[in-house]
Amino acid sequence: MTAELSPIDKAKFVAAKRAVDYVEDGMRIGLGTGSTAAWMVRCLGEMVREEGIRVTGVATSTRTADLARQVGVPISTLDEVKWLDLTIDGADEYDPHLNLIKGGGGALLQEKIVATASDQMIVIADATKQVETLGAFPLPVEVIPFGWQTTKALIEEMLGNLDVLGTTTSLRLANDQPFRTDEGNFILDLHLRHIPNPQQVSLVLNQIPGVVENGLFLDICDIVIIGAGDGSVEVRDINNGTVEHEQIDIIDTDNLFLDVSD
**What end-to-end distance do the CA atoms of the chain give, in Å?**
17
Please tell me which residue in 46, 93, 111, 213 is annotated as part of the active site. 111
Residue 135: name the closest of 192, 91, 92 by CA.
192
Cβ–Cβ under 8 Å, residues 67 and 38: yes
Q: Is 50 a catalytic residue?
A: no
Torsion angle defined by CA atoms of residues 22, 24, 27 and 30, in that order, rounded to the nearest 10 degrees: 20
Given strand 168-171, what is the order of strands in its sheet? Answer: 168-171, 186-191, 139-143, 211-214
* Cα distance between residue 237 and residue 235, in whole Å: 6
User: What phi, psi does 139 have (nearest 5°)?
Assistant: -80, 115
Active-site residue set? 111
